[in-house]
């Protein structure tokens, strides 16, 4: 018990130290900017680029401090043990239903983790969701197929699925042959995946990650074979296609929240709270900016118009 408490406090101290270091750097820059002269933004940018600290990027430093501070604050708040209320996501609630249906029908489950590499944060979020899907599939003894577009993603997916099988208490059912690398070429990958969809007719299809033109090709093929389809992406241009053709879609930030939500870890859930606080600040900033700009239209020479212009040039570029 004591050891657990000691480890917990050490981890909190480590988090606080890292957070302090991460916040200290932009803070120093913000202070440095305050000491600098008030040149025009363009002139300041040129002068600042030659100095050691890029003072022209002070506003961004402040924004980073606020957002990161909010997220870290959320995590630390979660560690105090306060209850965290997170809105349920219908798409995630449908995961069990979709895999259960596939099991009953004796068909496979298809998981497509997008077409980007592990450098894309969406792929990382997709792999986290894959872990949860794989665990449920292992519990139900459903066959899960994961074709990947990048070899590193394949390695990460294999790790996640294997870990899920261990967690489900069924390590013997793990088959790494079901997680394959196909090709880096976007449409070559689409041809291979849609071809296997038409041949194998999976009963549940998950599309979680970064998608581009292939989103509709996957979703329409999935629709034609009557599969339950659950998608999640942070590519705004592809969201309409998934919404039109899939049963459930995780839209933008929901997708990132989902990976934390599914992990069930308090730290990760706390970060969602911090993220929400950041969103609240963004909404407040937008409202204040709109209000100032609107009032400024009626009194273009007044202090409010000047304030609106200053905010616009400082934060808006």
Partner 1 sequence: MLQRTIPIAILCLSGVIMIVAYFVSFAVSWSETVNVWFNILSAVAFVLGAGNLLAVNLEKISSRRPGWAYAAITLVSFFFMLVVGLLKLGAVPDPKNPLIHFAGDYETSASPYGWMYEYVFSPLTSTMFGLLAFYVASAAFRAFRAKNVESILLLGTAFIILIAQTAAGMFLTGWIPQDSVFAVLRFDSLKVGITEHIQTAGMRAITIGIALGVAATSLRLILGIDKSYLSKN
Partner 2 sequence: MTTTQHNAGGSAGGSSFLARLGNLDRRWIFLAMGLSIAVPTLLKLRFPEYPSPMSKATFDAVESIPEGAPVLLSFDYDPASAAELQPMARALVHHCASRHQKLVFMALWPLGKQQADKTIETVLKPFHPEYKEGVDYVQLGYQSGNEGVIKLMATNIPAQYPTDASGAALKDLPLVAGMRDLSSFKLIASISAGYPGAKEWVQYANGPMPDAFKVVGGSTGVQVSQLLPYYPHQMEGMLVAVKGAAEYEMLVEAKYPIAQPEVIGQGRVRMGPQLVAHLLMIGLIVLGNIAMVAGRSRGGAR
Q: Which of residues 76-115 bind partner 1 (CB under 8 A)?
A: none
Query: H/E element holding 111?
Result: strand 109-112
Query: H/E element holding 46?
Result: helix 41-50
Residue 207: C-alpha distances to residues 67, 218, 223, 292, 312 (Å): 29, 8, 13, 42, 38
Beta bridge partners of 249: 231
Q: Which two tokens stand for residue 122?
A: 């969406």
Cβ nearer to partner 1, comparing 136 with 275: 275
- Candidates 31, 159, 304, 306; binder of partner 1 (CB under 8 A) is 159
Residue 177, binding choice from partner 1, partner 2, none, Cβ under 5 to 8 Å by partner class: partner 1
Touching partner 1, residues 11-70 (CB under 8 A) = 15, 18-19, 21-22, 25-26, 29, 49-54, 57, 60-61, 64, 67-68
Touching partner 2, residues 111-150 (CB under 8 A) = 116, 119-120
50 φ, ψ to 5°?
Answer: -90, -15
Task: Check binding of 137 to partner 1 (CB under 8 A).
Answer: no
Residue 309, binding choice from partner 2, partner 1, none, Cβ under 5 to 8 Å by partner class: none
Task: Return the number of other C-beta atoms located less than 10 Å from residue 222's C-beta.
Answer: 27
Is 22:67 a contact under the CB 8 Å cutoff? no
Cβ nearer to partner 1, comparing 166 with 297: 166
- Min dist. Cβ of residue 223 to partner 1 (A): 8
Task: Check binding of 45 to partner 2 (CB under 8 A).
Answer: yes
Q: Which two tokens stand for residue 228?
A: 């339950």
What does the alpha-carbon distance between residue 185 and residue 265 come to, in Å, rounded to a whole number?
36
Task: Check binding of 220 to partner 1 (CB under 8 A).
Answer: yes
Judged by CB under 8 A, which stretch of 97-105, 156-164, 297-305, 307-315 contacts partner 1? 156-164
Task: Check binding of 210 to partner 2 (CB under 8 A).
Answer: yes
Is 172:138 a contact under the CB 8 Å cutoff? no
Q: DSSP assignment, residue 207?
A: E
What does the alpha-carbon distance between residue 161 and residue 267 come to, in Å, rounded to a whole number?
22
- Min dist. Cβ of residue 18 to partner 1 (A): 6
Task: Check binding of 307 to partner 1 (CB under 8 A).
Answer: no
Task: Check binding of 252 to partner 1 (CB under 8 A).
Answer: yes
What does the alpha-carbon distance between residue 212 and residue 134 come to, in Å, rounded to a whole number?
24
Residues near partner 2, by CB under 8 A: 42, 45-46, 49, 116, 119-120, 184, 186-187, 210, 212-213, 224, 235-238, 316-317
């Amino acid at each position: 018990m004591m050891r657990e408490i000691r480890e917990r406090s050490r981890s909190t101290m480590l988090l606080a130290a890292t957070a302090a270091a991460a916040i200290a750097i932009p803070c120093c820059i913000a202070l440095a900017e305050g000491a600098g002269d008030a040149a025009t933004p363009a002139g300041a940018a040129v002068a600042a680029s030659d100095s050691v600290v890029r003072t022209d990027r002070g506003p961004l430093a402040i924004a980073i401090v606020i957002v990161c501070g909010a997220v870290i604050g959320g995590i630390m708040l979660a560690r105090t043990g306060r209850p965290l209320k997170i809105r349920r996501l219908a798409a995630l609630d449908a995961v069990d239903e979709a895999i259960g249906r596939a099991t009953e029908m004796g068909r496979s489950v298809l998981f497509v983790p997008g077409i980007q590499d592990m450098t894309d944060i969406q792929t990382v979020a997709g792999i986290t969701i894959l872990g949860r899907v794989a665990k449920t599939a292992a519990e139900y003894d459903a066959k899960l197929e994961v074709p990947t577009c990048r070899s590193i993603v394949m390695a990460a997916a294999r790790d996640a699925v294997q870990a899920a099988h261990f967690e489900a208490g069924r390590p013997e059912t793990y088959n790494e042959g079901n997680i394959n690398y196909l090709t880096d070429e976007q449409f070559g990958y689409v041809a291979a995946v849609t071809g296997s969809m038409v041949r194998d007719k999976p009963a549940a299809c998950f599309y979680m990650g970064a998608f581009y033109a292939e989103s509709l090709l996957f979703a329409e093929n999935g629709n034609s074979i009557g599969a339950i389809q659950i998608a999640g992406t942070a590519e705004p241009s592809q969201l309409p296609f998934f919404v039109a053709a899939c049963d459930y879609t995780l839209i933008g930030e929901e997708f990132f929240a989902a990976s934390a939500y599914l992990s069930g870890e308090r730290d990760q859930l706390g970060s969602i709270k911090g993220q929400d606080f950041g969103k609240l600040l963004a909404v407040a900033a937008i409202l204040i900016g709109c209000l100032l700009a609107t009032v400024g239209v009626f009194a273009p020479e007044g202090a409010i118009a000047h304030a609106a212009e200053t905010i616009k040039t400082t934060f808006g570029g």
